């Protein structure tokens, strides 16, 4: 029997995460399936923004200590740590994903200075590739590409210093086996750096259990930190005593207020800070993370699977489009990618009709299913709009 909108409404009625949707501002008349690019604003953000502006206006410079600004990178990092399977003292919020990848990849190759090859997936997000190219050039080494569909073992040998992997492929939403890949990388004597930008907040991530060396990620997608929100980085505790990063800044100094000319890194994760951090943006991110209070990540993942399974079933039944994402839900993130030869034009029409997904060259329509605020009726309505637009075309 075909699925109906009433069936989807019933799923919403029985959704244990249903009340969390009310924690977000979602404009009327839009089915928003683009949280894999930019999450919506949490309802508590304006109040928290007013608070930081009040702190700034009333405390001025004293806000750094009296209002806790100085410790925000560590405190907010600890909140993200629970979402990525890490001990809190191993995560810090700082700078951008690109900058943090440069810092962590440089630290990794520094720990393997007798090796000269950096490996990255050919399907990685472009900024990751650019950073890997830069680091490989800086050490006078080689950049080696891991071809799509090939096991990481195919590019490993005793010249590889570090491997950069994406936990979820940004085009297809395919999930990489973090435990197996990290183990293979370690068996080859190299270090593993993971980009979590498309997994943190919607998938269980187990950095400590998998013995990952370094990880980075953005906070403006599924973590809903807002446009340009500060990113985060993870360093396994076993490396914190010796890892060095290429952008030393006074906030990462062992004793910043001594104002020494010679840099001495902090003993802990703080050594990966650079200069003064964006406190206003960090306060907003801190507010956005409140949306995860009381939300079990296993329940979030279960709903993400249910949403994407439903969407794929509706697409199969009504549209017949090629589904680029894995059909096996265990291998699929919280996104479904479809192929259409005129994807760019279809995307523009979908936006006009109230369905906000996104488009990636040359022929991919992407739809993100953030379980905290996307409903089952959203999935139904999205396919309704898709069917109408494709029927007209």
d(CA 248, CA 272): 8
- 19 token code pair: 């009340």
* pLDDT > 90? residue 393: no
Out of 24, 32, 102, 125, which one is annotated catalytic? 125
User: 374-389, pLDDT tens digit by residue?
Assistant: 999 999 999 999 999 9
Tokens of 154: 């195919």
pLDDT at 112: 98
Supply the pLDDT for residue 1. Answer: 73
Looking at every residue in the chain, the average pLDDT score rounds to 97
The average pLDDT across 140-145 equals: 98
Q: Establish whether 62 is a catalytic residue.
A: no
Tokens found for residue 171: 């085009």
What is the DSSP secondary-structure string of 256-299?
GGG--SS--B-SSGGGG--S---HHHHHHHHHHGGGGTT--HHH
- From the candidates 195, 213, 358, 378, give the one annotated as an active-site residue: 195
Q: Is 28 a catalytic residue?
A: no
Q: Does domain 5-17+296-392 have CATH number 1.10.150.120?
A: no
Catalytic residue from among 32, 102, 170, 220: 220
Q: Residues 322, 343: contact at Cβ < 8 Å?
A: no
Select which of 48, 112, 171, 221 is catalytic. 221
Mean pLDDT for 217-235 is: 98
Q: How far apart are alpha carbons 265 and 242 in whole angstroms? A: 10
Residue pLDDT, tens place only, 92-109: 999 999 999 999 999 999
**Active-site annotation holds for 195:** yes
β-strand partners of 144: 119
In the structure, what pLDDT confidence band is assigned to residue 159 with cuts at 50, 70 and 90?
very high
Beta strands in the chain (DSSP E): 31-32, 91-93, 117-121, 142-146, 160-166, 191-195, 214-217, 232-235, 322-323, 335-339, 355-356, 358-360, 364-368
The DSSP line for 1-53 is ----HHHHHHHHHT-TTGGGGGGB---TT-EE--TTT-PPPBTTHHHHHHHHH
Alpha-carbon span 252 to 1, nearest angstrom: 61
pLDDT in tens, 160-216: 999 999 999 999 999 999 999 999 999 999 999 999 999 999 999 999 999 999 999
- Residue 148's pLDDT is 87
The verdict on whether 170 is a catalytic residue reads no
Q: Which of 366, 367, 369, 376 is catalytic?
A: 366
Report domain 47-292's class: alpha beta
Q: How far apart are CA 49 and CA 53, in angstroms?
A: 6
Q: How far apart are CA 177 and CA 91, in angstroms?
A: 22
Peptide bond before residue 362 is cis, with ω within 30 degrees of 0: yes
Tallying the residues shown for the chain, one arrives at 393
| Domain ranges, ordered by start, for the chain | 5-17+296-392, 47-292
Annotation marks residue 150 as catalytic:
no
pLDDT in the model for residue 332: 98
pLDDT of residue 392: 78
Per-residue pLDDT tens digits for 271-312: 999 999 999 999 999 999 999 999 999 999 999 999 999 999
């Amino acid at each position: 029997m075909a699925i109906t909108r009433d069936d989807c409404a019933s799923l919403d009625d029985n959704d244990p995460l249903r009340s969390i949707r009310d924690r977000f501002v979602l404009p009327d008349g839009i089915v928003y399936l683009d949280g894999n690019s930019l999450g919506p604003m949490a309802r508590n953000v304006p109040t928290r923004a007013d608070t930081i502006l009040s702190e700034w206006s009333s405390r001025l410079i004293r806000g750094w200590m009296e209002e806790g600004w100085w410790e925000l990178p560590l405190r907010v990092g600890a909140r993200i740590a629970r979402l990525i399977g890490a001990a809190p003292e191993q995560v810090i919020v700082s700078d951008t994903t690109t900058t943090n990848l440069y810092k962590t990849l440089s630290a990794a190759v520094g720990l393997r200075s007798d090796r000269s090859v950096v490996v990255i997936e050919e399907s990685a997000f472009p900024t990751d590739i650019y950073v890997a190219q830069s680091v490989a050039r800086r050490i006078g080494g080689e950049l080696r590409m891991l071809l799509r569909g090939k096991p990481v073992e195919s590019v490993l040998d005793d010249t590889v210093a570090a491997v950069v992997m994406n936990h979820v492929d940004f085009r297809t939403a395919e999930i990489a086996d973090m435990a197996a890949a990290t183990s293979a990388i370690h068996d080859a004597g190299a270090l593993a750096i993971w980009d979590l930008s498309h997994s943190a907040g919607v998938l269980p991530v187990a950095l400590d259990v998998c013995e990952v060396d370094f990880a980075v990620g953005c906070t403006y997608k599924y973590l809903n930190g807002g446009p340009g929100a500060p990113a985060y980085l993870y360093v396994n505790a076993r490396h914190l005593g010796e890892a060095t990063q290429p952008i030393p800044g006074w906030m990462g100094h062992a004793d910043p207020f001594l104002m020494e000319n010679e840099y001495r890194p902090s003993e802990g994760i703080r050594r990966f800070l650079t200069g003064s951090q964006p406190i206003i943006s960090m306060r907003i991110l801190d507010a956005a993370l409140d949306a995860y209070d009381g939300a079990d990540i296993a329940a979030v993942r279960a709903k993400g699977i249910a949403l994407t399974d439903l969407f794929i079933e509706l697409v199969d039944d009504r549209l017949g489009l090629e589904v680029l994402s894995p059909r096996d839900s265990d291998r699929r993130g919280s996104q479904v990618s479809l192929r259409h030869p005129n994807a760019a034009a279809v995307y523009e029409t979908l936006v006009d009709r109230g369905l906000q997904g996104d488009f990636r060259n040359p022929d991919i329509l992407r739809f993100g299913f953030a379980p905290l605020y996307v409903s089952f009726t959203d999935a139904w309505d999205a396919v309704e709009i898709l069917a109408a637009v494709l029927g007209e075309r």
